[in-house]
C-alpha cells in the first residue's frame, strides 16, 4: 500500500521564485499547493491543512510571513512552518538569533535564507516532518 504524499503549502509573491520552489519541492516527492499572496494563503489555510508550510516573510506586508505563521499555528498548531527570507541579505537583520520571547510571538519553526540549495531545503523539510 502506497502512503499518501505529504503536502506543502508555499506562499510567495515572487511568481518566478514560487514556480522554481514548487518544482524543487515536487521533485522531492511532495504534493505542493501554492499561494501568490498573503490573502490567497489565508484562504487556503481556511479550508486545507498542509503537512508543512513555507512562507515568504514579505509579501503585501512587511510581516506577511509572521501573520500567516500566527494564523496557521492558531488553526493547526502541529503544522511546522518555515519562513524563507532575503531580509538578512538585504538588511543584515537575522532572525536566527531571536530570543524565546520573539519565538513565542513569531510562531515559525525555522527561518531559512532565500536561495538555499535544494538538498539543504530537503534536509530541513524532512527534519520538520520527521521523515
Note the pLDDT of residue 88: 52
pLDDT band for 128, please (50, 70, 90 cuts): very high
pLDDT digits (tens, 9 = 90+) for 86-118: 765 444 554 454 444 444 555 789 988 888 899
Whole-structure pTM value = 0.86
Domain count, the chain: 1
pLDDT digits (tens, 9 = 90+) for 44-75: 999 999 999 999 988 888 888 999 999 999 99
- The domain in which residue 30 lies consists of 7-129
CA separation (Å) from 64 to 60, 83, 126, 130?
A: 7, 10, 24, 27
Note the pLDDT of residue 107: 75
Rounded Cα–Cα distance for residues 98 and 126 (Å): 23
Q: What is the CATH number of the domain that holds 73?
A: 3.40.50.2300
Q: Is residue 1 part of a domain?
A: no
Amino acid at each position: 500500500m502506497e502512503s499518501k504524499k505529504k503536502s506543502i503549502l508555499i506562499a510567495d509573491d515572487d511568481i518566478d521564485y514560487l514556480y522554481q520552489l514548487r518544482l524543487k519541492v515536487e521533485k522531492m516527492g511532495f504534493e505542493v499547493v501554492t499561494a501568490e499572496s498573503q490573502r490567497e494563503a489565508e484562504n487556503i489555510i481556511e479550508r486545507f491543512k498542509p503537512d508543512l508550510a513555507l512562507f515568504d516573510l514579505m509579501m503585501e506586508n512587511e510581516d506577511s510571513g509572521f501573520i500567516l505563521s500566527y494564523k496557521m499555528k492558531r488553526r493547526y498548531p502541529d503544522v511546522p512552518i518555515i519562513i524563507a527570507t532575503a531580509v538578512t541579505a538585504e538588511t543584515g537583520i537575522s532572525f536566527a538569533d531571536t530570543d524565546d520571547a520573539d519565538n513565542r510571538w513569531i510562531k515559525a519553526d525555522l527561518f531559512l535564507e532565500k536561495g538555499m540549495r535544494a538538498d539543504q531545503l530537503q534536509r530541513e523539510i524532512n527534519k520538520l516532518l520527521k521523515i
